[in-house]
């Protein structure tokens, strides 16, 4: 495990709208935004939760009986990881010399997952992790993840970890990344959802994690244009459920905003991270070091990937029945 020796990192949180008609269209927006950020000297960029092809907003405003067609369409448009989409993003990351954190709806045969992918500045895919527990309406869309990707990874900009949305309300999941000594935490939320209270709660959540972990937090939320909202929900009485909830922001280990949070419209929130602030914070309070009491409180993590099958070793197989245990057959005369 390496600790970065860099002094500053220019980071960006991208608040942009997807193309709800085309996965390729959304990918084009991602690549365009990486190029735009590169021209501003950005070294780390974070995109919103399941941005490609788009967050399943339909599942929040439609009853289950009406979701089938939209769910199937999302499945048809969802990328595999790895695959052509990740190859394209890897190429953009390599060309820009930028660490990229992207949220995707990952298709794995007949299932979809809320997946976070992290590319290093040389284009290598360093991390693929699935949201542990989809939230509320999301359970109709995504399967459950596991803890195999619940870790921080060394990148060109430092040690980076990631969580999606209400995983930040799971203190043990956050502690797993804290214990893995993340220096920059990448948070992703859907945006354009629930209303202003969602943005207010988000601000509290990411600032608390920055303080508790002693790390920087780069948080990205998505955006929907009014035309997209009306298309997703023609009923005006329900359109408010697809507004608000945007709070793209960058927070220091001292819990301070390093740039004005973006709550309306599209854009990039950009700030320079002074990594010396990590030591300044942890000198006083290191939650997984001198401030911890592992003999009293500790975390157990099962890091093996979940699987529906398991190969049995010979020692695990049931013993063959002994000869005298076999059923007796008696022939009639």
Q: pLDDT for 161-187, tens place per residue?
A: 999 999 999 999 999 999 999 999 999
Threshold 0.75, pTM exceeds: yes
3-state SS, residue 93: helix
Q: Which residues are catalytic?
A: 49, 131, 165
Report how far residue 248's alpha carbon sits from residue 187's, in angstroms, rounded to the nearest whole number.
Answer: 9
3-state SS, residue 122: coil
Which has the closest alpha carbon to 117: 96, 90, 77, 142?
90
| pLDDT tens column, 281-305 | 999 999 999 999 999 999 999 999 9
Give the contacts of 317 (CB within 8 A, at least 6 positions apart).
Answer: none
User: What are the residues facing 188 on neighbouring strands?
Assistant: 164, 220
Give the contacts of 301 (CB within 8 A, at least 6 positions apart).
Answer: 147, 150, 176
Q: Is 138 left (phi over 0), alpha (psi -120 to 50) or beta?
A: alpha
pLDDT value of position 311? 87
Question: Structure tokens of 254?
Answer: 């001292």
Q: In what order do the strands lie in the sheet with 267-274?
A: 125-130, 111-119, 99-108, 44-46, 8-15, 267-274
Series of mean pLDDT values for 10-residue runs along the chain (333 residues): 71 98 97 98 98 97 95 97 97 98 98 98 98 96 96 98 98 97 98 96 98 98 97 94 97 98 98 97 96 95 90 71 54 46
Question: Structure tokens of 10?
Answer: 């220019």
Report how far residue 138's alpha carbon sits from residue 67's, in angstroms, rounded to the nearest whole number.
Answer: 12
C-alpha 138: how far from its chain's center? Answer: 14
User: Among residues of the chain, what percentage have pLDDT more than 70?
Assistant: 92
């Amino acid at each position: 495990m390496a600790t970065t020796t860099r002094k500053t990192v220019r980071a960006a949180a991208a608040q942009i709208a997807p193309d709800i008609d085309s996965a390729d269209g959304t990918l084009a927006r991602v690549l365009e935004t990486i190029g735009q950020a590169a021209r501003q000297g950005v070294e780390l960029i974070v995109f919103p939760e399941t941005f490609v092809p788009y967050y399943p907003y339909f599942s929040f405003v439609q009853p289950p009986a009406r979701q089938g067609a939209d769910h199937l369409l999302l499945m048809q448009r969802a990328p595999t990881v790895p695959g052509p989409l990740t190859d394209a993003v890897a190429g953009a990351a390599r060309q820009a010399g930028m660490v990229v954190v992207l949220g995707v709806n990952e298709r794995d045969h007949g299932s979809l997952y809320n997946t976070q992918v992290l590319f290093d500045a040389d284009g290598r895919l360093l991390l693929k992790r699935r949201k542990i527990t989809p939230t509320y309406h999301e359970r109709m869309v995504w399967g459950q993840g596991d803890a195999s990707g619940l870790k921080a990874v060394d990148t060109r900009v430092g040690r980076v970890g990631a969580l999606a949305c209400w995983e930040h309300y799971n203190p043990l999941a956050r502690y797993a990344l804290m214990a893995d000594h993340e220096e920059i935490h990448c948070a992703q939320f859907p945006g354009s959802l629930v209303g202003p209270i969602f943005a207010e709660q988000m601000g509290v959540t990411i600032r608390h994690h920055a303080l508790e972990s002693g790390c920087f937090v780069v948080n990205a939320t998505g955006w929907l244009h009014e035309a997209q909202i009306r298309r997703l929900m023609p009923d005006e009485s329900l359109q408010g459920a697809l507004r608000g909830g945007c709070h793209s922001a960058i927070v220091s280990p001292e819990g301070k905003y390093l740039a004005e949070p973006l709550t309306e419209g599209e854009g990039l929130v950009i700030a320079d991270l002074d990594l010396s602030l990590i030591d300044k914070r942890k000198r006083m309070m290191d939650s997984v070091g001198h401030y911890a009491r592992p003999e009293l409180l500790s975390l157990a993590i099962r890091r093996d990937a979940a699987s529906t099958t398991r190969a049995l070793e010979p020692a695990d197989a049931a013993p063959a029945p002994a000869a005298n245990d076999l059923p007796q057959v008696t022939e009639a005369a």
